[in-house]
Amino acid sequence: MQKITPFLWFDNQAEEAMNFYVSIFKNSRVLGVNRYGEGAPMPKGTVMTASFELDGQAFTALNGGPIFKFSPAISFVVHCETQAEVDHYWDKLSAGGKEGQCAWLEDKFGVSWQVVPNALIELLGNPDPAKAGQVMQAMLQMKKIDIAALQRAYEAEN
Q: How far apart are the first and last CA of the chain?
A: 50
Mean pLDDT of 51-69: 97
Domain boundaries, the chain: 1-67, 70-158
38/149 Cα distance (integer angstroms) = 56
Q: Which of the four CATH numbers 3.40.920.10, 3.30.720.100, 3.30.1510.10, 3.60.21.10 does domain 1-67 have? A: 3.30.720.100
108/35 Cα distance (integer angstroms) = 23
pLDDT band at 54 (very low <50, low <70, confident <90, very high): very high
pLDDT at 110: 98
pLDDT exceeds cutoff 90 at 1: no
Reported as a single tens digit per residue, the pLDDT across 129-157 is 999 999 999 999 999 999 999 999 999 98
Strands 57-63 and 104-106: unpaired
Provide the CATH number for the domain formed by 70-158 in this structure: 3.10.180.10
Mean pLDDT of 68-93: 98
Reported as a single tens digit per residue, the pLDDT across 12-36 is 999 999 999 999 999 999 999 999 9
Mean pLDDT of 83-103: 99
**Tally of CA atoms within 13 A in the half-sphere of 117 that contains its CB:** 26
- Tell me whether domains 1-67 and 70-158 share a fold: no
